[in-house]
Structure 1
């Protein structure tokens, strides 16, 4: 009989194994190690074995955050600024933003260790399946085919871990296979060997994998299936021009078309762009591979520390606050001028088209209805309360001028604005009293002089130094995964949302890039527009129309000025068709070129950890310029260095060019 193993059951089995270890006989009995023959006694033990591999996979690719930091904070989309006495962290985020790291940087070792630990777990379980389970399939009431499917999963997971090594550290990583001993110290690979191993491993195992039925929680939900393996191949081929210096766009196109043709399952775009991120995203047909999360059972970190401590009042959720780290890079300098007029890259918020709902300030109703993905401007409604607290109890450390009654306000600018208010206070300037009475940050934006605002600019000449000039309310906050009010059935942060690792949009965009590079702009435009049109909603049109009305009435000086709050952002009614007509690549083919495609990759995948490879693929990573980041002085920063601790462990490793070896 064929017996599939459900991922949720696997994880619950792993939890039960941990509890059973800690809650039974406490008599001391020492072991150096647990023999595999002794451990595997039942079907449940197999579930516990595979759970360990997937648990680590979710940690390394999702919960840890180091891979995300390198993928986003070194690019033109996201930053973690120092906020007063918080988040300097030995200058780590200065180094990431300014591209000034070295081989002792901690996050590099965390990535290296995490990926190779994942390889080790996958290889170990592969061997257990081969040596213990396969010869005794009758005992475990499974088939040889079941065992080989699990082995194929382990091999593809190993390939995915090796692929992350290739992307971060380059072709000089090492290869570990199941037949190698744990004490082996392999030499750094050269040329295309690491790439070839990844490709060969996926190709040889993809046919042995199962097929998840999209939009269901079937036996393969959250597990590596054929579509996962195929999408990994798409990514491998798409990035080959920078990972091994060889273009594989033709191979990428072939694999993309197989996926879209349904060769590996019934994946498709959802009717709503929101479903793939929402609490019920297990119903999404767009998600190819994810790490399941479920309230009261299994928590996933969707983005590390992205919200302010006090956003719980805005979300009306006890779990709505966070440790106040990442935010969008600014689209405006402190004086309100726009960086897109100065730099070809960066300005992530301003890259969104008029009519795109992602420009609308995020808000979530008590029934779970949501809009937008960014926390923008004022995070309270005057006079509102939640949990017995007034809406103005949002003061952070720099903003306590009004007796803890200052409204939390997120600007699309980075600078020490509180220093302007402090100067007013010390000088006895009447504007200080006006600010105190206003209870709102935007009073500073409206009443400070241009010279005062320019004096605190963070767009300084030294790359990365601008990171030290943030405040606790700095920057728009990204929340693709919504945080629901506690009164909602799925309330309590976003624990019910499954973390998306791969989605069908990956395939649409990869194929569009292949087509555009081949000169097939019309086909590329069609593919991109199939995804993009879903973002152009009535509420997006209303925001654009409201902004236009305010500009025409003289309430704002520039049509690009973002809203000051969610509740005043959509007071006018806009024409959806008009805004989409102006944004569509099919209707406006002159809009679409390679620079625009790079910008579109940034819009679609902001905050998902992929921006570094996107920039590298377009040769805009070390050669690009954006806020507080000039062209790199050394191309060595295309790759991260092999970490010192790895070099000390394995003397056969060869450091990447330009970095210190010991």
Structure 2
């Protein structure tokens, strides 16, 4: 077993040197070839360090345990292959030479090794994530045996604060520190913890005065609580909307009984006590207004639509909604873009509703309603009685949008305030059965440094960048496998034309959020420095600003420079 242990040790050393290459480029270099004892290590060039890591990994892999055959937490051949794929994917950054063909070669080795995507994305980041068949190499943590204030203990605790319940994360308290900016949130098509972006809100409906509308359409039942009109102002004027089939007859009652009821004998819009049934000639969605002060009523047919910048028609014309009797609402399923909408009657602005408080309660001539991003939405309009309300749902959504928004603002104006910026709920010290880890302070959650979804995305990127040995159809399939897990079905699939490098960068942001890849990705894509690609607080200012290219690498720490006269600081520092 000594040969295997030695190969694993060489892998771990190569992994550390890869981190050093990625972060600093030129670093002090020591191997077993150096004499034993104290000396000042020489600084190795990025090119030589790259070559060393490459050789070490290729050689070590030959003596390592085959993929998925080692005990959990120890590296095997697939771990070495994944690290080689990462080295080659970033070679153009590290040494100025593209090595995308080699990246594809080693991605294929890993993909063919039998790993499978974890069916439930969230299970990858729980206290029992050692059960996952997706993980290629993990940094193992244990709340009893490997206690540390870093690692996943930091990732779990530091992300909890504000209105978040620490018990939901399997910990004894949050540190109220890290959260994300709106630039990451906007990468996801829907945020809010589920398919419902806006839920119906009955508001004060239950407290309003009401009258009842029994009729043939509901069995002539004056006690039916769902067929009423309400008076929000308590002034004797009642209103609401109802769907009536052609020829429907009805009356109004003061209470949920027939003691006091009104009809219309003429009919002339004037209510008559115990009068004749009121009827509608044509089917439709009618706006009913009853004024008991002068015993009058109106019955106006309406058609409703969605209008706004988020719709295909923009603000020029409505997209009609249809009545759904099972839902008791007007419904439309629409393909929308990021923008705004309102509800409008009869293709005219005389009667329209918006939402002033973004609280699900509609107001006449109210504020535009925000659609956060492109996608398919189910819009429901509930106009049976005031308070009028609505719902916006995504039939399928990206389940990787693991954000806590209650009490949090989207934008960050003060970085010291935890409640500014959405919190990320990805990492938890809870098992897939909902049980807390072995300790409430120190977490059991392992850190999956390498996993299959990352390899799928690396393969696709290397193919798009011109590497040989792979193909676009296979790349698209791998990307869509990742997205099928995220959406739960094929609704998140993309087409060949949509598979671009820009898409890959965004998809890596969604899939690998808070797994330590983003900086390296942005540098590889030329979006980290000297670019118009900005995000809030980039460069230390709220609106974001470009930074000089020397920021692509970190400075050699001052303590190292003082201790070793052979070291030269990175340019710009």
Q: TM-score range by the shorter chain?
A: 0.5 to 0.7
Partner of 2:32: 178
Partner of 1:611: 518
The answer as to 2:214 corresponding to 1:268 is no
Partner of 1:43: none
Partner of 1:507: 455
The answer as to 2:47 corresponding to 1:192 is yes
Q: Deviations over 1:538-562 (max 9, x none)?
A: xxxxxxxxxxxxxxxxxxxxxxxxx
* DSSP 3-state at the match of 1:500: strand
Partner of 2:412: 414
Q: Deviations over 1:552-602 (max 9, x none)?
A: xxxxxxxxxxxxxxxxxxxxxxxx66xx1xx312xx333332212111111
* DSSP 3-state at the match of 2:137: strand
User: In the aligned structure 2, how far is the partner of 1:513 from the partner of 1:485?
Assistant: 33
User: In the aligned structure 1, how far is the partner of 2:188 from the partner of 2:120?
Assistant: 18
Instruction: Give runs of aligned pairs for residues 70-219 of structure 1, distance below 5 A.
Output: 146-170=1-25, 172-180=26-34, 181-190=36-45, 192-211=47-66, 213=68
Q: Which structure 2 residue ranges, 5 or more long, are not aligned?
A: 198-398, 539-543
The answer as to 2:560 corresponding to 1:646 is yes
Partner of 1:336: none
Q: Kindly indicate whether the alpha-carbon contact (under 8 Å) linking 1:315 and 1:485 is maintained by their aligned counterparts in 2.
A: no
Partner of 1:306: 158
Q: Are residues 179 and 326 of structure 1, via their aligned partners in 2, closer, same or farther at CA, if it must alter by over 3 Å?
A: same
How does the TM-score come out when normalised to structure 1?
0.50
Instruction: Give runs of aligned pairs for residues 364-379 of structure 1, distance below 5 A.
Output: 374-378=402-406
**How far did residue 521 of structure 1 move?**
4.1
Match for 1:518 among 460, 463, 466?
A: 466
Q: Kindly indicate whether the alpha-carbon contact (under 8 Å) linking 2:29 and 2:41 is maintained by their aligned counterparts in 1.
A: yes
Q: Are residues 247 and 481 of structure 1, via their aligned partners in 2, closer, same or farther at CA, if it must alter by over 3 Å?
A: same
Quick check: 222-231 or 309-318, which moved more?
309-318
The answer as to 2:493 corresponding to 1:596 is no
**How far did residue 195 of structure 1 move?**
0.3
Instruction: Give runs of aligned pairs for residues 447-526 of structure 1, distance below 5 A.
Output: 468-484=414-430, 488-491=434-437, 493=440, 495-518=443-466, 520-526=471-477
Q: Kindly indicate whether the alpha-carbon contact (under 8 Å) linking 2:169 and 2:428 is maintained by their aligned counterparts in 1.
A: no
The structure where strand makes up a greater share of residues is 2
* DSSP 3-state at the match of 1:274: helix
The answer as to 2:133 corresponding to 1:285 is yes
User: In the aligned structure 1, how far is the partner of 2:46 from the partner of 2:3?
Assistant: 31
User: In the aligned structure 2, how far is the partner of 1:245 from the partner of 1:482?
Assistant: 39
How does the TM-score come out when normalised to structure 2?
0.57
Q: Kindly indicate whether the alpha-carbon contact (under 8 Å) linking 1:238 and 1:249 is maintained by their aligned counterparts in 2.
A: yes
Q: Deviations over 1:171-212 (max 9, x none)?
A: x22321113234232322235100000111111111111135
User: In the aligned structure 2, how far is the partner of 1:593 from the partner of 1:247?
Assistant: 18
Rg bigger for which structure?
Answer: 2
User: In the aligned structure 2, how far is the partner of 1:353 from the partner of 1:506?
Assistant: 21
The runs of at least 4 aligned residues of structure 1 exceeding 6 Å deviation read: 355-361
Partner of 1:33: none
Q: Kindly indicate whether the alpha-carbon contact (under 8 Å) linking 2:42 and 2:566 is maintained by their aligned counterparts in 1.
A: yes
Match for 1:626 among 523, 532, 535?
A: 535
Q: Deviations over 1:214-244 (max 9, x none)?
A: 7xxxx52101211111111111111111111
**How far did residue 487 of structure 1 move?**
10
Q: Deviations over 1:73-97 (max 9, x none)?
A: xxxxxxxxxxxxxxxxxxxxxxxxx
Q: Are residues 485 and 635 of structure 1, via their aligned partners in 2, closer, same or farther at CA, if it must alter by over 3 Å?
A: closer
Q: Are residues 360 and 523 of structure 1, via their aligned partners in 2, closer, same or farther at CA, if it must alter by over 3 Å?
A: farther
Q: Kindly indicate whether the alpha-carbon contact (under 8 Å) linking 1:152 and 1:205 is maintained by their aligned counterparts in 2.
A: yes
Q: Deviations over 1:241-273 (max 9, x none)?
A: 1111111111110011111112xxx32212222
User: In the aligned structure 1, how far is the partner of 2:196 from the partner of 2:5?
Assistant: 44
User: In the aligned structure 2, how far is the partner of 1:599 from the partner of 1:232?
Assistant: 22
Instruction: Give runs of aligned pairs for residues 380-399 of structure 1, distance below 5 A.
Output: none
Q: Are residues 270 and 473 of structure 1, via their aligned partners in 2, closer, same or farther at CA, if it must alter by over 3 Å?
A: same
Q: Kindly indicate whether the alpha-carbon contact (under 8 Å) linking 1:277 and 1:497 is maintained by their aligned counterparts in 2.
A: yes
The answer as to 2:221 corresponding to 1:349 is no
Q: Deviations over 1:598-646 (max 9, x none)?
A: 1111111111111111001001100232224355352211111112111
User: In the aligned structure 2, how far is the partner of 1:283 from the partner of 1:487?
Assistant: 12
Quick check: 593-602 or 273-282, which moved more?
273-282
Q: Deviations over 1:46-101 (max 9, x none)?
A: xxxxxxxxxxxxxxxxxxxxxxxxxxxxxxxxxxxxxxxxxxxxxxxxxxxxxxxx
Q: Kindly indicate whether the alpha-carbon contact (under 8 Å) linking 2:142 and 2:443 is maintained by their aligned counterparts in 1.
A: yes
Partner of 2:243: none
**How far did residue 654 of structure 1 move?**
1.9
* DSSP 3-state at the match of 1:290: strand
The answer as to 2:487 corresponding to 1:536 is yes
Q: Kindly indicate whether the alpha-carbon contact (under 8 Å) linking 1:356 and 1:535 is maintained by their aligned counterparts in 2.
A: no
**How far did residue 502 of structure 1 move?**
1.1
User: In the aligned structure 1, how far is the partner of 2:164 from the partner of 2:146?
Assistant: 21
Q: Which structure 1 residue ranges, 5 or more long, are not aligned?
A: 1-145, 332-346, 362-370, 379-408, 416-467, 538-575
Q: Are residues 469 and 270 of structure 1, via their aligned partners in 2, closer, same or farther at CA, if it must alter by over 3 Å?
A: closer
Q: Kindly indicate whether the alpha-carbon contact (under 8 Å) linking 2:126 and 2:429 is maintained by their aligned counterparts in 1.
A: no
User: In the aligned structure 2, how far is the partner of 1:358 from the partner of 1:617?
Assistant: 33
Q: Are residues 280 and 318 of structure 1, via their aligned partners in 2, closer, same or farther at CA, if it must alter by over 3 Å?
A: closer
Q: How many residues align?
A: 355
Q: Are residues 310 and 485 of structure 1, via their aligned partners in 2, closer, same or farther at CA, if it must alter by over 3 Å?
A: farther
Q: Kindly indicate whether the alpha-carbon contact (under 8 Å) linking 2:401 and 2:510 is maintained by their aligned counterparts in 1.
A: no
